[in-house]
Structure 1
């Protein structure tokens, strides 16, 4: 009997032990599942919060933003997260004027392993990132082309994914800036409206993009001379930013924006006050691109009030910093061009699929245009005309649109030894040149044939040949656009007639006073000072 009880007791103990082990396993499994669920649930919001903080630091201090974001980047192996963080670092470097490193950071995510696959978000965000790089480097046509392609996808426009919606808002904002560069302010404002539709009050990034959109909107209203609407909007932006006190870049940008209004109103003292306030906000911060704008505006305003000491001080600061960033920008363009060189070369080939137009019709048109061009240059080069006749001719010349000075689709003077380019290809190049001449990009001191070729996505040899058929060389083409631009300003804005010739040379993109004077005389038939005297007489007559 005792033996039976012992067996029964052992059996009960074994059952109890088995049940205890089973329950323990179930509890452990529950803990593991709960922990995994908790970790997964927190990983998304944690990154969103960290990335949002990094984006805020972008407008507080570029160097701190880079250090902070790199710290996140080291510990986060998520491919999508890395792409977003690299874009923030790239933007911070661009705001410093370090375009080479900005492109370098961009290139790192381009080297991601394609075998791991790429999500739709990465495709869209990668396109946005490239468009952003192009715009930072002044290659606006490439930026515009990429954005137009991305925004043609209904999947993107109809998506409710917060990450895709904020990216769409950024794309529309970039496109607005591209339109603004081309002075298409109506389209620019429409794109800002579309950008705002994709924004929410979800986080700091959404709020910052809203502020940027309002600032850009005010700038375009000012350029349209809608002063009342402009003042209301820019003052609200400044009031909101001053109450937050944590976005010095945006507040400095807004004050620089407001100074332009007072400059147009010729209230130079008020403009200087706003600019000094803007500079005080960022003077010790690495926002070099904004500093360049502020230095330039300060030099213009101090020149207008005849404060030579301050003018020289800020003009030197502007020239030194601008030269440094321009050099870096040029290197950045070369670097970026090398990254896409292979694909670009594949796209540049002969396109002989169009029908050839009537030979005799072409000869007739060419003969008329050639005759017109010969007459035109003979008049310009004539040294036997008195100064009044030269002035009358040039005034008639500049009364036409500047864009029509060089490019004319029907004007062709081919060199018999040149490469054969189809009429259709030539028309395509001429159309792109027309669009280029509508912008102020030719005022860039570093504008070169290779840079223009990259910007317009045209084979350098073809572009050179088309330009040389109309001008002696590329430099002659660019310089004529610059002179025509500065002449237009001298005629329309009396303030420019009070500026020194050295400032006019700097403003119009010439490397020296003497070079500007030589080219100006070759185009207009008179020196800059003589022209200013004549135009002043005409305006007061």
Structure 2
């Protein structure tokens, strides 16, 4: 922490200041100092606003999303995930963009694990793995992190052989890395599987590996996890003295972690209550002022309409009055659909940037969220999509998703190995049936038939070669 603070003081450029703050935030998070970790990350985020560094901003928002999710403050976490997605969609470097989207999918998977939706989490992790398989810095670390999560999911689903397979793969990916907290979680997971399989000797070996790492780190969540797994081991071995000692340690650590989290949550709630009180007071004043203005305007309009109506209706036939009303409504309707060329061009440029990103693969993309991205309203955006793309919003998004996936399948062979449900999840479809329907609409064949044709073509090409 002292070194990180010194780096911040010595840094002049915003990028390095934010970087040093995030180093401090990561250290504080490991030590369970949630409040300070969030404060450092928020400060780093404010610095990034001035530097306009999208990559760094996305990483900071992602870190904050994780912290709020761990605190079970899911609305705040979702808000930061949305911010991360927006920044990631604007990153030009495809490899960096893939890494950020991989982390977003991983964070969403962690949320589903929190909710005990393990099968949903597995699909999200598989989607994350596709992003991480793009050659990135520390690729093995990211892939190992996901393999560990897959191990956790299959463990909770009581599919212990699959869990062990993923934990072992994660361990292999980290073989060249020094001991770290991720290795600790993996060893603890392997030990937990062997305990369920009643293979005591193997369980003891991996408990030892995990404990060795836990003794060197201040990562409180890792220590807690290992205390818990060790208790299961000693219960199996019927060593109740050791079991009791570890139970006391786990309870004490749980209390420390809970105290730190509750302190932060209580501060957050107090802050929100104060803000709400201010907003309510301001709203009462605004409402009273609005009511007064509306009453005055209503009175003025009433007298104006009454005078005009009495003058015009006396001189004009009823049919003419009705005709004028219809014409007036038609003009209003036409005007509502008319956009200035400047506004239209601005929206089209934003859509072009959007189409070159992979934001359309996000499940929560909507006409409303896209209109915010395009700096316009829902009505104008809908008009531009209908007139320039010749389709409604849903079909427009589906077309982008299918074209993107088809391009991936044709160029990158690994996509041929994925199940249809995983491909659907990868490009943002909520169900497999909707994905198949959209794919068939765009390509005139089902995804399975398309993949089969690509495989056959590849086989033919190899034979000719």
TM-score band (shorter)?
0.5 to 0.7
String of CA shifts for 1:358-398, please: whole Å, max 9, x gaps.
Answer: xxxxxxxxxxxxxxxxxxxxxxxxxxxxxxxxxxxxxxxxx
Give how far 1:314 is off: 1.0
Task: Return the alpha-carbon distance in structure 1 between the equivalents of residues 95 and 271 of structure 2.
Answer: 31
CA contact under 8 A between 2:61 and 2:80: conserved in structure 1? yes
CA contact under 8 A between 1:249 and 1:281: conserved in structure 2? yes
Give how far 1:290 is off: 0.3
Indicate the residue corresponding to 2:10 in structure 1: 75
Which residues in structure 2 correspond to 1:77-96 (within 5 Å)? 77-96=12-31
Indicate the residue corresponding to 1:318 in structure 2: 250
Task: Return the alpha-carbon distance in structure 2 between the equivalents of residues 213 and 187 of structure 1.
Answer: 14
Is 1:138 aligned with 2:63? no
SS of the aligned residue for 2:216 comes to: coil
Q: 1:149 to 1:293 in 2, by over 3 A?
A: same
CA contact under 8 A between 2:89 and 2:97: conserved in structure 1? yes
Is 1:259 aligned with 2:191? yes
CA contact under 8 A between 2:66 and 2:107: conserved in structure 1? yes
Is 1:307 aligned with 2:239? yes
CA contact under 8 A between 1:159 and 1:165: conserved in structure 2? no
Q: 1:291 to 1:123 in 2, by over 3 A?
A: closer
Higher gyration radius (CA): 1
Is 1:247 aligned with 2:182? no
Q: Which runs of 5+ in 1 are unaligned?
A: 1-65, 351-541
Give how far 1:269 is off: 5.1
CA contact under 8 A between 2:195 and 2:236: conserved in structure 1? no
Greater fraction of residues in helix: 2
Indicate the residue corresponding to 1:356 in structure 2: none
Which residues in structure 2 correspond to 1:449-528 (within 5 Å)? none
Task: Return the alpha-carbon distance in structure 2 between the equivalents of residues 155 and 295 of structure 1.
Answer: 38
Q: 1:122 to 1:285 in 2, by over 3 A?
A: closer
Is 1:214 aligned with 2:147? yes
Give how far 1:201 is off: 3.7
TM-score (norm 1): 0.46
Indicate the residue corresponding to 2:38 in structure 1: 103
Query: What's the Cα RMSD here?
Result: 3.3
Give how far 1:236 is off: 2.4
Give how far 1:143 is off: 1.8
Indicate the residue corresponding to 1:531 in structure 2: none
Give how far 1:180 is off: 0.9
CA contact under 8 A between 2:147 and 2:169: conserved in structure 1? no
Task: Return the alpha-carbon distance in structure 1 between the equivalents of residues 71 and 58 of structure 2.
Answer: 20
Give how far 1:78 is off: 3.0
Give how far 1:163 is off: 4.5
Give how far 1:345 is off: 6.6
Aligned match for 2:58, one of 90, 109, 124: 124
Higher relative contact order (CA 8 A, sep 6+): 1
TM-score (norm 2): 0.53
SS of the aligned residue for 1:283 comes to: helix
SS of the aligned residue for 1:244 comes to: coil
Aligned match for 2:209, one of 263, 277, 284: 277
Q: 1:284 to 1:158 in 2, by over 3 A?
A: closer
Give how far 1:128 is off: 1.9
Tell me the number of residue pairs that the alignment of Structure 1 and Structure 2 aligns: 281
Task: Return the alpha-carbon distance in structure 2 between the equivalents of residues 149 and 322 of structure 1.
Answer: 32
